Structure 1
């Protein structure tokens, strides 16, 4: 089982080091509390971030939980696309079906 939805054999293509400043680290927490903007090596270089549910939104809804209150992590869009539950592909749908 892969609780983060990250396939262990995939190489992540995004080689940019994310060096969040002290005021804006990459975080985990409630989905609704996480932002979608981060910083690269300097505070004035903006990096787009996405929020990734640890348990997929579909599974949370099926079990009666509010996805906005669920645990999530910030990640770059290219890393998010590498997760097993990202998007509407057949593989992502199949992974979400067996998740719960």
Structure 2
């Protein structure tokens, strides 16, 4: 695994707001535990070219390294919490995008 920063993109549609709120309540503390940074979310994205993803929420957050992102995703507390997301949303994707390596 590399030490370049990574960014996580998620796209989903919320169909049970109460279940999703349970997920949100615990999400940020687990993210912080793994040195994650929340950047933004958008419920109404704009697609300039190509086929637009299904309407829904797009979330962007990141980690200093791929290892930390992987540890966050595999954290048993996160996996237990994510059951609320799974119950309250229709997930399209959670994708990790690697940043550029440092230029020397």
TM range (shorter): under 0.3
TM-score, normalised by the number of residues in structure 1: 0.27
The structure with the greater share of residues assigned to helix is: 2
The structure with the greater share of residues assigned to strand is: 2
TM-score, normalised by the number of residues in structure 2: 0.27
